[in-house]
Amino acid sequence: MGTPPLSPWAVLVPTLVLVGLWAPCVVSRQPNFIIILADDVGWGDLGANWAETKETPHLDQLAAEGTRFVDFHSAASTCSPSRASLLTGRLGLRNGVTHNFAISSLGGLPRNETTLAEVLREAGYSTGAIGKWHLGHHGHHHPNSRGFDYYFGIPYSHDMGCTDTPGYNLPPCPPCPQHSTAARVARKDCYTEVALPLLENVTIVQQPVELGSLARRYAEEAERFIQRASAKGQPFFLYLALAHMHVPLVPPLPPAPGRGVYGASLGEMDALVGRVKEAADSLGRGSTLLWFTGDNGPWAQKCELAGRLGPFVGAWQRQRGGSSAKQTTWEGGHRVPALVYWPGHVPASRTSQALLSILDIFPTLVALAGAALPPNRRFDGLDVSPVLFGWSDVGHKVLLHPNSGAAGKVGEIEALRLAQYKAFYTTGGALACDGSTGPAQQHHPPLIFNLDRDIQEQEPLDVASREYQAVLPAISRAYAQALQDIAADNVSVADYSQDPAAIPCCNVQHVGCRCHGATRDPHVESRTPWLCL
């Protein structure tokens, strides 16, 4: 696993690549793009990656018909920063999004950052976002103001607000008060957050959202969006950000024996992906690129409701307490599953070990659409279309891993990957299932692991060894160059201020916010428009 072995005595100073690896690939027409982003999914949650997983037949089929990337990484190990990087091709230290936005946040992804949707819409694409946004919902931070013609989904995570049918959570979320006169007085045992809203464009169509039907509705909306764009003869970009697997939704059926709640939810996500792939194929095989990946690793503190790390257990950290998954810079925090499917273009049944990132989605899709990258800014992602097409297996020479809340200052570059070597300047664990958190530790010189020999990150190289001494100068130069490049860039700053008035609420007269007829399907029954903000 990882890139081919690199002799430490032959390590050269890498150049931080900020432009594409290849000239834009020529296609006969503008392709359609579907990006499916799973939430808190583990590398081992796909059967194609981890033989113990049995709940993902559709995703496994997607891997068999496309290319599987086994050394693919999120740009951060938590929600908002990872999503901001996907849509901008830039790390949080550049785009300003270094930690999560709240339900009362006034800001979001800075307005001076250009999103992938804005670039593609300018290039003639119909653009749609379905699912979790979490990049600001107040005012002009809403998806409809960030390049998306259509939006349907929830503005943040589905455990950031109460619901009448709570998702599986630890601790559990008690139901909101029922709609009645008595409901106007909050009970002490009720979750005090405002009910989770479901939006269609800027209208709240359901509050609280019915979690049990959310997967079905996402699939239906994705199918409708694809059909509408196809009917207009317009290329489309669909960004489908799933609620799965953050905390499992209510399973539609009791879980099968031995499957458990998490397994049932994983199966539900798999079926949703299968429906979207089927809709894409119905347009004609070869016209749509589908890219499935995750925003970060599993949320370990959720215990049996957290995803599977596969072999990326961060053993060094585990010995010192705390989780080595979500929020951390250990492999389990940012190495995520990735599959790309595009019949006739992306090879089938191929496994690539190229070092790639969620940052690469932006420049790759822009190149494939025949569009141009926004000027006056630098990008951390690469145009990796040669890797997708099987012409190359060379990705990043250097990949940066920012702190996402486990230790140190959020957004700061605390780990760096150079070929098979990974250097930690700061280590720390996130909250684990047992309640422990590993202490933050500074490392000067850095801890260095050789991932080709030690994928579990168990034993760092001996600082006195010839291998360590040979590779350290190249790592140090790459780290210094990266920080200098970011400091010289056109850097944005996000507004993280909060105000209760920014919380989406369809009816402030009701405790927790509640819409009349909230169980209606807006596509089959009339509804009163409740404007969001």
For 71-127, how does the pLDDT look when each residue is reduced to its tens digit (9 = 90+)?
Answer: 999 999 999 999 999 999 999 999 999 999 999 999 999 999 999 999 999 999 999
Could you report the per-residue pLDDT of 378-425, keeping only the tens digit for each?
999 999 999 999 999 999 999 999 999 998 899 999 999 999 999 999
* Backbone phi, psi, residue 338, to 5°: -150, 130
Q: What is the pLDDT of residue 517?
A: 46
Q: What pLDDT, on a 0 to 100 scale, did the predictor assign at position 248? A: 82
DSSP letter for each residue of 336-375: --EEEE-TTTSPTTEEE---EEGGGHHHHHHHHTT--PPS
Q: Pairing relation of β-strands 338-341 and 32-38?
A: unpaired
- Output the six-digit token pair for 231: 């009917």
Query: Does 134 qualify as catalytic in the annotation?
Result: yes
Residue bearing tokens 């200052």: 409
Active site residue 138: no
Q: Residue 339 has what pLDDT?
A: 98
Q: How many residues does the chain have?
A: 533
CA distances from 494 to 79, 99, 337, 490 (A): 15, 10, 29, 13
CA atoms within 13 A on the CB side of 407: 27
Distance CA(127)–CA(130), nearest Å, equals 10
pLDDT of residue 177: 53
Q: Is the dihedral of CA 295, 250, 34, 289 positive or negative?
A: positive
Measured CA to CA in angstroms, residue 215 lies from 34, 221, 261, 271 at distances of: 17, 10, 15, 9
pLDDT of residue 247: 82
Tell me if the domain spanning 32-179+186-502 has CATH number 3.40.720.10.
Answer: yes
The Cα–Cα gap between 154 and 209 comes to: 9
Please identify which residue in the block is written with the tokens 């489309």. Answer: 236
Does this model's pTM top 0.75? yes
Domain segments of the chain: what residues?
Answer: 32-179+186-502
Catalytic residue among 79, 173, 505, 513: 79
Closest CA to 330 of 458, 475, 468: 458
- CA–CA gap between residue 322 and residue 441 (Å, rounded): 13
- Of 36, 53, 44, the C-alpha closest to 337 is 44
Give the C-alpha separation, 30 to 496, whole Å: 37
- Each residue's pLDDT, cut to its tens digit, for the chain (533 residues) gives 344 444 433 333 333 333 333 333 445 589 999 999 999 999 999 999 999 999 999 999 999 999 999 999 999 999 999 999 999 999 999 999 999 999 999 999 999 999 999 999 999 999 999 999 999 999 999 999 999 999 999 999 988 887 777 666 544 444 555 544 344 344 444 445 688 999 999 999 998 888 889 999 999 999 999 999 999 999 999 999 999 998 888 765 566 666 788 998 999 999 999 999 999 999 877 899 999 999 999 999 988 889 999 999 999 999 999 999 999 999 999 999 999 999 999 999 999 999 999 999 999 999 999 999 999 999 999 999 999 999 999 999 999 999 999 988 999 999 999 999 999 999 999 999 999 999 999 999 999 999 999 999 999 999 999 999 999 999 999 999 999 999 999 999 999 999 988 999 987 776 678 775 444 444 433 343 343 44
What three-state secondary structure class fits 405? coil
Of the listed 134, 138, 345, 396, which one is catalytic?
Answer: 134
pLDDT at position 198: 95
Query: b or e along 283-304 (b: 16 or more beta carbons within 10 Å of the residue's beta carbon)?
Result: eeeebbbbbbbbbbbbbbbbee
